[in-house]
Chain A
Amino acid sequence: MPNQPLPEADEIREVLHGLLGRDMIVRTTHPASIDPAAKTITASYLRDDGSVGAAVVSDIEVAAFAGAALALIPKGVANDCVKDGELTEMLADNFHEVLNVASAWFNGKGAPHVSLGEVTDPGGRPAQTVQAVVANHAERADFEVEVDGYGKGVLRFLSVAY
């Protein structure tokens, strides 16, 4: 069975535009090593047998800007979250919904079905499962995501060998 598919820039732009109601610029970017000290939000995506099929590692900027844009929350609130390294409950909830919808990108093309598993906040350590995926992934695709009127950050998608 194939590994989970990873999204392309056009799909990400289209879906995020639909979710956030904002213009987006999404560019493929070269995968760089992830600074363990950086404030990131991680999400695991679990197969029906409970094993991890894929993961997302998002800069806090993407989570804050997307979460704010979704509910028309002022840019200043999002910038404060980035500066403090913490998301407000509403921004975290909003980005959780983006991560939930993102599960559709990992499904299809004959790969095993996955759904959203654990999401970690930027203050916490990435779940061990996500750390393992980062260390030993099959494929990875990184994108610079710019939310119009807010700002930009990097969103990383990783798949695990089936």
Chain B
Amino acid sequence: MKILVADDSKAMRMIVIRNLKSAGFSDATFSEAENGKQGLDSVKADKPDLILSDWNMPEMNGLEFCQAVTAEGIDVTFGFVTSESTADMRSLAEEAGAKFLIAKPFTPQAFQEAISLAVGS
């Protein structure tokens, strides 16, 4: 499984990847992006199975990134990992094509549950 983690914080990318490994994805191949634009380039080149993206990022934010992936018709499961999770954000995320939104602070179980549901649906 190929997983792309997009976040402008290197520390948070490390934290997300560590949690994914603890959640049972230790055999996955991980790639990283610092913003949505870099993420979109990476999606086109590497064709990941799963994208986990922050919401607030420079250049292209997470919502624009998700919308661009959907507009390109790329078949990938997209989920957000965000500091905030308001009802408005969840609604915007869903409209853009995201399958889930995990709010910080999170646990490996939160990843495991959200990804299982998204991939299973």
Contact = CB atoms under 8 A, between A and B. Distances in A.
Interface of A: 14-15, 18-19, 21, 70-71, 93-94, 96-97, 100-101, 103-104, 115
A93 B108 contact: no
Interface stretch (B7-15, B44-52, B59-67, B89-97): B7-15
A69 to B, nearest CB: 11
A104 B11 contact: no
Task: Report the contact-size class of chain B (Cβ under 8 Å from the partner).
Answer: 10 to 19
Interface majority SS (helix, strand, loop, mixed), chain A? helix
Given A18-B107, A18-B108, A70 B83 contact: no
B11 A101 contact: no
Interface string B1-21: 000000001111011001100
B14 A71 contact: yes
Contact of B10 (A15, A93, A101, A103): A93
Contacts of B15: 18-19, 70, 97
Given A18-B105, A21-B18, A103 B83 contact: yes
Nearest to A113: B84
B14 A101 contact: no
| From B9, B83, B108, residue with most partner A Cβ within 10 Å | B83
B107 A70 contact: no
B105 A15 contact: yes
Given A15-B105, A70-B11, 5 more contacts: A18-B19, A97-B11, A97-B12, A100-B104, A115-B84
Contacts of B105: 14-15, 18-19, 101, 104
B68 interface: no
A71 B106 CA distance: 18
B76 interface: no
A18 B110 CA distance: 11
Interface in B80-120: 83-84, 103-108
A18 B9 contact: no
Nearest to A105: B105
Contacts of B84: 115
